[in-house]
């Protein structure tokens, strides 16, 4: 999304926003569900997901 703000000659603030359709299309292609698989059967679903999230934020 592209946003611009500007002040009018009367002192009012105008906001204008517009969707960036190209950037939105790129992000939509990345949306979805991903299968997480492990060979460590001692992990709970929550533990496995937390390990995945920790790696993604590194």
- Over residues 8-36, mean pLDDT: 90
Query: Are 48 and 36 a contacting pair, CB within 8 Å?
Result: yes
Longest Cα–Cα distance in the chain: 67
Give the pLDDT confidence score for residue 34 in this predicted structure.
77
Distance, in Å, from the CA atom of 31 to the CA atom of 27, rounded to the nearest integer, reads 7
Return the structure tokens found at 47.
């533990």
- Over residues 14-19, mean pLDDT: 94
Distance, in Å, from the CA atom of 53 to the CA atom of 2, rounded to the nearest integer, reads 29
Range of the domain at 18: 2-57
CA angle 43, 58, 27 (to 5 degrees): 95
pLDDT value at 14 more than 90: yes
In the chain, the number of structural domains is 1
């Amino acid at each position: 999304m592209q946003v611009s703000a500007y002040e009018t000659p009367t002192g009012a603030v105008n906001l204008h926003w517009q969707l960036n359709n190209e950037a939105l299309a790129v992000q939509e292609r990345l949306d979805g569900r991903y299968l997480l698989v492990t060979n460590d059967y001692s992990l709970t679903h929550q533990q496995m997901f937390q390990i995945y999230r920790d790696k993604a934020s590194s």
